[in-house]
Amino acid sequence: MKELCEAIIGGVLLGVLAMAPALLAIWVEHRSSPNSCRQLDSVERKCAYGSCDRGMIERLTKECLRASGQWGEQP
């Protein structure tokens, strides 16, 4: 029984260590994105629960694209 518990714990630790680089890359990418993009992500998540503000989503989308250099000239 002790060997089984040790094997399970070892497997879990190995899984966590294997996922750590991918999770770190996602976290770094998220932290380096402009604030408007993080706000847009937050508002879109709220929209999934039924509290959508389309005007705010449109505004933040434009700001996010502009801040990340994908928008081009300001309208």
Look at residue 75 and tell me whether its pLDDT is greater than 60: no
Same domain, 26 and 15: yes
Same domain, 26 and 43: no
C-alpha distance from residue 74 to each of 23, 58, 65 (Å): 34, 14, 10
Same domain, 10 and 24: yes
CB half-sphere exposure, 53, CA atoms < 13 A: 11
Q: Rounded to two decimals, what is the model's pTM?
A: 0.48
Same domain, 17 and 38: no
How many domains in the chain? 2
Comparing 50 with 59, which gets the higher pLDDT?
59
**What would the mean pLDDT of 47-56 be, rounded to a whole number?**
84
Residue 60 lies in a domain: yes
Comparing 51 with 26, which gets the higher pLDDT?
51
Residue 70: both structure tokens together:
């994908």
pLDDT digit string, tens, across residues 27-43: 666 555 678 888 888 88
Nearest CA-CA partner of 32 in 74, 56, 68: 68
